[in-house]
Amino acid sequence: MSKFSEQVLGWFDLHGRHDLPWQKTITPYRVWVSEIMLQQTQVKTVIPYYERFMRSFPTVEALAQASQDAVLAHWAGLGYYARGRNLHKSAMKIMADFEGRFPESYDDVLALPGIGRSTAGAILSIALQQRHAILDGNVKRVLSRYLALEGWTGNKNNESFLWHKAEEFTPISRFADYTQAIMDLGATVCTRTKPCCETCPVRSGCLANQQDRVRDFPAKKPKKEKPIKQAYFLVLENMEGKLFLQQRSQIGIWGGLWSFPEYESHESCLNKMKKYESQSTSLHSLVEWNSFRHTFSHYHLDIFPVVVKGIDENHALQVFGNGEWACKVALNSQQATLGVPAPVTKLVRLIRECKNV
DNA sequence: AAGCCGGGGAT
DNA sequence: ATCCCAGGCTT
């Protein structure tokens, strides 16, 4: 066993994380769900989502039999909703192709939607003690410092180089512990800002530390300007205080989630409302609320709410097409049965509190 | 290779 | 406001 993995494992036994929710009882299914939720998402954020998800869907079969709406309702607020859709798809595939048993061959696991090279390695090493490397954000950071790797870790050559090193550093035993150990090291010692090099088990061999250049690695990702887009949200409220929601396309942002009818311009939004009013006899008040900004990883979205109260429920369905009149729209995500994007949750809260800010 | 896909924690 | 987080998929 190499000195690196020996040092990492020795540190892990004393200082690693051994009581995370998905570590309590280790099964491929439980590890799989955790790894998907943890993609691009911090542990602290995941924990409450994981607990709730596992309570509702304790087995592959339970997940496969659930509706997509139920799954996405559990994912609402977590982001990257394709993860939830793919998890659900994979569960159905596991029922159809593997009799409900999570596959144990690397190729079969890799073929499931939403599982790439790193996630497949993590699941099979942690849950089934197979020898596979991982290369997530933690490993990239640890290795780029240990090896003083110049340049962004996301570029092709560096990625290929790091995969090679990640496999080389993986020991010949204790595969589950090593996978967990290298991630724990990155998450608690070799952190992005203010790493604790004094307590690091591999500092003696760390080139960045030797050169006193820990701060230089990993190199920052080249940044690009985020475009600004606009969206008009038509907020329809009926006499009972229910709000009108429509399910979004599976393709594009917030795929499969429920949101307010959305228009790209002020004009198209008001035209739609005029079309409704021309056929309606009831009275209602239209108020254009102040806009607010929601920022994605790749663009800013300025949201302009157009709030109309006193809408006739059945009449609206005729004009606006398919939709649902929801009562408690994800104000409490514990009770929500529809998945709603974060800014919709925010806007609903503002409406309920009558805060036009 | 670059773009798409979220939301929040940390700074 | 910026950067990044237990990445993968599409073009």
Determine the nucleotide nearest to A134 by Cα–C1' distance.
Answer: C6
Count of the separate structural domains present in chain A? 2
CA A76 to chain centre: 9
Residue A39 resides in a domain? yes
Cα atoms in the Cβ-side hemisphere of radius 13 Å centred on A113: 13
Determine the nucleotide nearest to A342 by Cα–C1' distance.
Answer: B7
Residue A286 resides in a domain? yes
Residues 6+ apart with CB under 8 A from A355: none
Determine the nucleotide nearest to A298 by Cα–C1' distance.
Answer: B4
List, for residues A335-356, the tens digit of each pLDDT value. Answer: 678 899 999 999 999 998 887 7
Burial A266-295 (b: 16+ CB within 10 A, else e): eeebbebbeebeeeeeeebeeeebeeeebe
Residues with pLDDT less than 50, chain A: none
Cα atoms in the Cβ-side hemisphere of radius 13 Å centred on A226: 12
Same domain? A275 vs A311: yes
Same domain? A242 vs A201: no
CA distance A266 to A234: 10
Judge if the beta carbon of A342 is closer than 7 A to nucleic acid strand B.
yes
Same domain? A251 vs A295: yes
The pLDDT, as a whole number, for residue A321 is 85
List, for residues A282-335, the tens digit of each pLDDT value. Answer: 667 899 999 999 999 999 999 999 999 999 888 888 888 888 888 766 555 556
Q: Report which of residues 270-329 in chain A place their beta carbon less than 7 angstroms from any atom of strand C.
A: 293, 295, 297
Does A35 participate in catalysis according to the annotation?
yes
CA nearest A275: which of A313, A309, A319, A310? A319
Same domain? A254 vs A212: no
Residue A65 resides in a domain? yes
Same domain? A192 vs A297: no
Domain boundary, last residue among A184, A216, A248: A216
Domain extent at residue A154: 3-216
Same domain? A190 vs A319: no
Residue A357 resides in a domain? no
Closest amino acid to nucleotide B8 (CA–C1'): A45
Judge if the beta carbon of A194 is closer than 7 A to nucleic acid strand B.
yes
The pLDDT, as a whole number, for residue A314 is 86
The pLDDT, as a whole number, for residue A73 is 96
Same domain? A115 vs A84: yes
Q: DSSP readout, A207-266?
A: HHHHTT-GGG-SPPPPP-PPPEEEEEEEEEEETTS-EEEEEPPSSSTTTT-EE--EESSH
Judge if the beta carbon of A121 is closer than 7 A to nucleic acid strand B.
no
Residue A116 resides in a domain? yes
Residue with tokens 């369905």: A317
Domain boundary, last residue among A216, A250, A267: A216
Which CATH number covers residue A300? 3.90.79.10
Q: Are A286 and A308 in contact (CB under 8 A)?
A: yes
Same domain? A271 vs A133: no
**Cα–Cα–Cα angle for A230, A276, A337, rounded to 5 degrees:** 65
Judge if the beta carbon of A90 is closer than 7 A to nucleic acid strand C.
no
Same domain? A12 vs A120: yes
Residue A222 resides in a domain? no
Residue A147 resides in a domain? yes
The pLDDT, as a whole number, for residue A241 is 86
CA A347 to chain centre: 21
Same domain? A185 vs A112: yes
Residue A221 resides in a domain? no
Catalytic residue among A6, A35, A51, A167: A35
Which CATH number covers residue A72? 1.10.340.30
The pLDDT, as a whole number, for residue A265 is 95
The pLDDT, as a whole number, for residue A315 is 86
- What is the distance in angstroms measured between the alpha-carbon CA of A213 and the sugar C1' of B1? 29
Contact positions of strand B to protein Cβ (< 7 A): 1-11
Domain boundary, last residue among A216, A236, A258: A216
Same domain? A314 vs A345: yes
Same domain? A163 vs A263: no
The pLDDT, as a whole number, for residue A331 is 52
